Amino acid sequence: MSHDFSKEFFAAYHAAVFEALGEDAAKYNARIGINLANAWQRRLNDLPADPAEFKKAIEAYMSGPFRFSDIARFEFNDDGTACLYVKGCDICHGNEILRNSGKKGSCPISQMVKSAMGKALKTGVELTGSEKPGPVGECYLRYRIAR
């Protein structure tokens, strides 16, 4: 499945928007993530109430109408954590543009998943970090789920 726009366009646009936000970028990053989660939830008949249904619903969205990367796989772990693995992310390339000009990158996807999971599973969720093991566009977004 191809994107409706070029990766280069989106990367440049993402970088331009977050550069324009300046010092307020972090605050808006969280709000953008919440808005993206709300848009996803409006597409659903019902919020997925358990981890298996959440995984299925979020992966379907991220591989279909909200395709921001080549791969987006979500996993829940037995220890109360969860992880979104992303590869080929368009947003990461925009963040690389920001970093190359001395600015900080912003990932609204990390906040989107945090908000969506918290609302769907009716629990607290904390973003505990991200790991970038490979090329630009590959990362693991890690979460802790309140019990």
What Rg, from alpha-carbon coordinates, does the chain have? Answer: 15
Exposure class string for 92-128: b at 16+ Cβ within 10 A, else e: bbbbebbeeeeeebbbbbbbbbbbbbbbbbeeebebe
- Residue 95, classed as helix, strand or coil, is helix
Separation CA 57–CA 88 (nearest Å): 20
Domains of the chain: 7-145 (3.30.1380.20)
| The pLDDT of residue 26 is above 70 | yes
Distance between start and end Cα atoms, the chain:
37
pLDDT at 5: 72
Tens digit of pLDDT for each residue in 66-125? Answer: 999 999 999 999 999 999 999 999 999 999 999 999 999 999 999 999 999 999 999 999
- Render pLDDT for 40-75 as a digit per residue (tens, 0 to 9): 999 999 999 899 999 999 999 999 999 999 999 999
